[in-house]
Structure 1
Amino acid sequence: MKNQSVVKEFILLGFPDVPSIKMTIFVLFLVFYVSTLIGNMLIIITTAINSQLHTPMYFFLSNLSFLEILYISATIPKMLVNVLLKSSSISFMVCAAQTFLFIALGSIECTLLAVMAYDRYVAICNPLQYIVVMDITSCLSLVCSSWVSGFLNSMVHTILTFHLHFCSSNKLNQFFCDIPPLLKVSCSNTAINELVLFIVGGIYGLGSFITTLISYLHIISTILKIKSKEGQRKAFSTCASHLIVVTLFFGTSFSAYLKPTTKEESQEQEKLVPVFYAVITPTLNPIIYTLRNKEFNNVLRKMCRTIFADNMYSNKEIKRS
């Protein structure tokens, strides 16, 4: 890479250089990170050990939870380490790797959310064909396609970005390496990068969003035709959580990527928007899905009661012996 000889590291200016503020942010982001790990691991483990949840919907939800763990782990640990070490630097290669992973995992989430919307469409609009259409082969193919396309999409943007020259400034107005702040500090002509980001990213992101939107238009139309109010409520409850997550993720990520990088905006706004889709959304996802999902909650409570009963029995046996 030509620019590596000019810039060997970047300085991340995500937070004010005030010790008290930095420590407050450190604690807050640590809580977000640990909560994300615990919440999503709970979904993965509960789904894996309970045969009642071995359905396409929970298969996709487990994949989303695994993805969220990787997604937030691509940025937050480095930020936490930097705060502890009182450093704001990130090496050129680590920055490139972080950008690649972050864009790849975000792209995969776009596609996976669309796949989950399609799953709900088939389940509600074509229930008699659901088992045939969403068999194990189809589910694996959809998930694998999401991962492969996400990494290919990220590869295009990452290669274009890190072949630019960074000679005027190495200070990024963000707490992690991302394409928009990198384009802003480049001393190269970024017109092609912006065009590719807008077109390819737009086709990828908007394609997933439109697929999701069309699926939900059909779902809502089908639900409104159900005569029973209870039937409507049950049908909509299986989609409400996913719809909330889709709105949060696409709404914030589109505002960051599908606009010209030269557009003037406040530094606070530039830093705040990524916090929503990179930190808050992965943390809220397991809460949104579990709080509104009675089936999952029932299985989780049953599993906790079983574990508690087994522990009580084991303790009694130990006391007797």
Structure 2
Amino acid sequence: MEENHTVVTEFELLGFPTSPELQIILLLLFLTMYILTLTGNLLIIFLVVCDHNLHKPMYFFISNFSAAEIGFTTSAVPKLYSSLIMIKTTISLNGCLTQLYFFFAFGVTEVAFLTIMSIDRYLAICKPLHYSSLMNTRTCTALVIFCWITGFFWIVILIALVSQLAFCTPNVMNHFLCDTSPLFALACIRSYTTELFCYSFTSTMILFSFGLTCTSYVFIIRTILMTPSTTGRQKAFSTCTSHITVVAIYYGSIIFMYVRTANSEASLDKDKVIALFYSVVTPLINPLIYSLRNKDVIKALKKAIQYKAK
């Protein structure tokens, strides 16, 4: 019993325990996905910066979303790779809180950008005559700054609360990164008030953003359906399908993760798989959706390749 009350300042990350052969395969797979994620998102940022045809509010927001994606997945994967290479992967309490901060900060920033992007599409389709005046350079810059500031300051309260908890042995964290659920499970004394506040805090932000995004698309779809021209409807839908796809994938996973409490060991096992999906797989899918389904981006990419070939 004495061991169970030993306060710890270091955690062992369980990761995905499996055979050495499978760990090597997983390492190569996840590393390849990470490299492709970096390449895809950096390519989007490069094209938006360099191609004047992409100097539009929508692509300005997409490029910043890609930057947040890079930070989000980069904050998660180092310990994942470490757990696949090393027999025992540890992280200090301060390192854990630092990873948790950046993981949530970039995640909240992404949510903010998805919301702003849905509002941008609403104005472009439902208020086309006022779009240019409403979404001018000054407004777009202010919105981007707002998203980044919101992401990195909103989460400070949650991190401050978690940092007040004391953690005891056993110090094995059933995850490949530091997240709130496995941290709460290792607390010496479960503070359900803190847990409830943290879950309510994140749930409010996620559901508010999701609700605002859904509301925007309800008006967008209604406006599109009222468009008499078939060509006009197809063009309007084509500008929104990429964003809707990303919204569905992203919100589907984070709502499952954070809009409820999950304390059982079985729940933690599920959380680990879901976290792997939205921290490693989703950041890879998003640039593919934005590039392969977007004629302007494809055109800019072809132009860049042709210029490089000269």
- When normalised by structure 1's length, the TM-score is 0.91
Q: Matches of residues 1-321 of structure 1 in structure 2 within 5 Å?
A: 6-262=7-263, 265-266=266-267, 268-308=269-309, 310=310
Q: Tell whether the 8 Å contact from 2:47 to 2:301 is kept in structure 1 after alignment.
A: yes
What is the rounded CA distance, in whole Å, between the counterparts of 1:153 and 1:21 in structure 2? 39
Distance in 1 of aligned mates of 2:267 and 2:65: 32
Q: Which moved more, 1:87-96 or 1:213-222?
A: 87-96
Once the two structures are TM-superposed, the CA of residue 22 in structure 1 deviates from its matched residue by: 1.5
Between stretches 84-93 and 211-220, larger displacement belongs to 84-93
Which has the higher mean CA deviation after the structures are superposed, 182-191 or 31-40?
Answer: 182-191
For 1:14 and 1:153, locate their aligned partners in 2 and report how far apart those are by CA, in whole Å: 28
Tell me the distance in 1 between the aligned counterparts of 2:217 and 2:183: 36
Within 1, Cα distance between the matches of 2:51 and 2:94?
42
Distance (whole Å) between structure 1 residues aligned to residue 37 and residue 109 of structure 2: 18
Distance 1:148 1:133 in 2: 21
Deviations 1:174-195 (A, max 9, x none): 1111111111111223212221
Counterpart for residue 3 of structure 2 = none
Deviation at 1:239, TM superposition (A): 0.6
TM-superposition CA deviations, 1:51-105 (whole Å, max 9, x none): 1100100000000111111111001123224433443111221111000000111
- Answer yes or no: is the 8 Å Cα contact 1:75–1:176 preserved in 2: yes
d(CA) in 2 for partners of 1:162 and 1:280?
29
SS across alignment from 1:265: helix
| TM superposition shift of 1:260 | 1.4
- Quote the Cα distance in structure 2 between the aligned partners of 1:215 and 1:58: 18
Aligned length, in residue pairs:
305
- 222 and 263 in structure 1: CA distance in 2 versus 1, 3 angstrom threshold: farther
CA offsets 1:171-228 (integer angstroms, 9 cap, x no match) = 1111111111111111223212221122211211111111100100010000001111
Contact (CA 8 Å) 2:26, 2:84: kept in 1 or not?
no
Residue segments in structure 1 that go unaligned for 5+ positions in a row: 311-321
The answer to whether the 8 Å contact 2:175/2:268 transfers is: no
Aligned amino acid, residue 164 of structure 1: L
Which one-letter code corresponds to 2:165 in the other structure? L
Unaligned runs of at least 5 residues, structure 2: 1-5
Give the direction of change, closer, same or farther, for the CA distance of 1:263–1:213 in structure 2 (3 Å limit).
Answer: farther
**Whole-Å separation in 1 of the counterparts to 2:269 and 2:202:** 24
- Residue by residue over 1:140-186, the C-alpha shift from the partner in whole angstroms, topping out at 9 and shown as x without a partner, is 11111112222222111111112111113211111111111111111
- Contact 2:7 / 2:168 at 8 angstroms: preserved in 1? yes
- Looking at structure 2, the residues matched to 268 and 287 of structure 1 have their Cα atoms a distance apart, in angstroms, of 29
- Report the Cα distance in structure 2 between the residues aligned to 1:296 and 1:73, rounded to whole angstroms: 24
| 1:169 and 1:186 in contact (8 A); partners too | no
Instruction: Judge conservation of contact 2:101–2:159 (CA < 8 Å) in 1.
Output: yes
Whole-angstrom CA distance in 2 between matches of 1:140 and 1:272 = 36
RMSD between aligned residues: 1.5
Amino acid at match of 1:259: R
Shift of 1:6: 2.6
C-alpha distance in 2, partners of 1:302/1:20?
43
> Contact (CA 8 Å) 1:12, 1:90: kept in 2 or not?
yes
Structure 2 residue identity aligned to 1:208: S
Task: Name the SS for the 1:90 alignment partner.
Answer: strand
Q: Equivalents in 1 of 2:276, 2:254: separation in Å?
A: 10
The percentage of counterpart residues that share the same residue type is 39
